[in-house]
Structure 1
């Protein structure tokens, strides 16, 4: 089904947006619980996916917003599918060579996004979609996330039990080519990310190109900066 062009007007709460389509006011579901306030500004062009479910409360879902001349994907759950498909198709060199792939693996009281295994290794991958860009840097999160910190703690535990663990940041704003945690917004998550790195949890950063015809992961890992003492994945003395 084709996308429908709309104009963003307001976001009464994190789940819905008021949009204008062909001069008419419509309500659209927002499939992203982040604030996205730097993206969802009044009169921004958005691209909506119509729903064919007659029982649904909203007629549309808001999938893309135009920002700085590019399309930004706001469908946060799609990040998991993009990364999973890229692993299957061998586009992520760091995660090649696994025989078994499955999504949403239960570990204790958490569900980790992707589970990989081969004869000699098990690997857990937690995916985070990133839409916030500040001074050209991609940053996560754009709103405090207790759930995100919980996932990192679960990865630390799994790593200490002898598994390979990765947190995968997928930059869904195409202009982002460098990543760092959002210390100003969520110091708890940012510190837990540092703790995870120190514990041996790997950090992978990739970005995607967005088109209405489809989204593709760019098969090239990007640099990151975790904070004052860690730059590009290397601890500074």
Structure 2
């Protein structure tokens, strides 16, 4: 998934969930933050950031903050993509390219599909098999291990319970964690942050929901799915 009109800047501070201040070519500018999570370990004054210029001249902010450099990341590439909207597009792109082995050769793939009162990121059919796919973007890393969530997620726990219930109706469902950085070999759920979500995730796996994680290939103007990594629940 490629971005357009990407420029670099220097992070100053985050004003609220949606707006941060950044130096762009020496000028202090407000920018839109494409992630409402806490990201406290990432938003550090003086860090380099990547921004996508908006094509809308009437916006209050001229750029979206899409990536930030994390100097503590033990990787040659220290950029972390923080765009919370992009993981769905990245996973869909990977599916259509056949990069996720368990879901190759599908016959139908749709985004944002409703079942009853629930809406899921993706729906697929593969011969007689059909199911739903929930995608979770991961930006939290500690000592080389990726973790989710970085804040309590009632919605995430609800999705896990719904997918577990659908398993009993004959669907084969997936939860895909997309780690939005390079050099990561393991994913673990963040039980300290949200034990309710982690409990629901483990129960979903017991009911047959496939839980998997992938790292990413990150460039300043691009993010693509990388290799599958170990998932420890």
Q: TM-score range by the shorter chain?
A: over 0.9
TM normalised by structure 1 equals 0.91
2:122 to 114, 118, 122: 114
Is 1:196 the counterpart of 2:204? The answer is: yes
1:12-161 counterparts in 2 under 5 A?
Answer: 12-68=15-71, 69-161=77-169
How many residues align? The count is 225
Residue 225 of structure 2 corresponds to which residue in structure 1? 217
d(CA) in 1 for partners of 2:160, 2:43 = 28
Q: Which runs of 4+ in 1 moved over 4 A?
A: none
d(CA) in 2 for partners of 1:93, 1:76 = 24
Using CA pairs below 8 Å that are at least 6 residues apart, which structure has the higher relative contact order? Answer: 2
Following superposition, the deviation at residue 118 of structure 1 comes to 2.8
d(CA) in 1 for partners of 2:107, 2:97 = 12
d(CA) in 1 for partners of 2:18, 2:231 = 30
d(CA) in 1 for partners of 2:51, 2:169 = 44
Aligned Cα root-mean-square deviation (Å): 1.2
1:64-108 Cα distance to aligned partner (Å, 9 max, x none): 111135211111111101100100110110111210011111122
Secondary structure of the 1:153 match is: helix
Verify the 8 A CA contact 1:123 1:163 in the aligned structure 2: yes
d(CA) in 2 for partners of 1:123, 1:95 = 11
Residue 188 of structure 2 corresponds to which residue in structure 1? 180
TM normalised by structure 2 equals 0.93
Question: Structure 2: 5+ residue runs without aligned partners?
Answer: 72-76
Following superposition, the deviation at residue 2 of structure 1 comes to 2.5
1:155-208 Cα distance to aligned partner (Å, 9 max, x none): 111111110011000110213220000011111111111111111111011111
d(CA) in 1 for partners of 2:98, 2:196 = 34
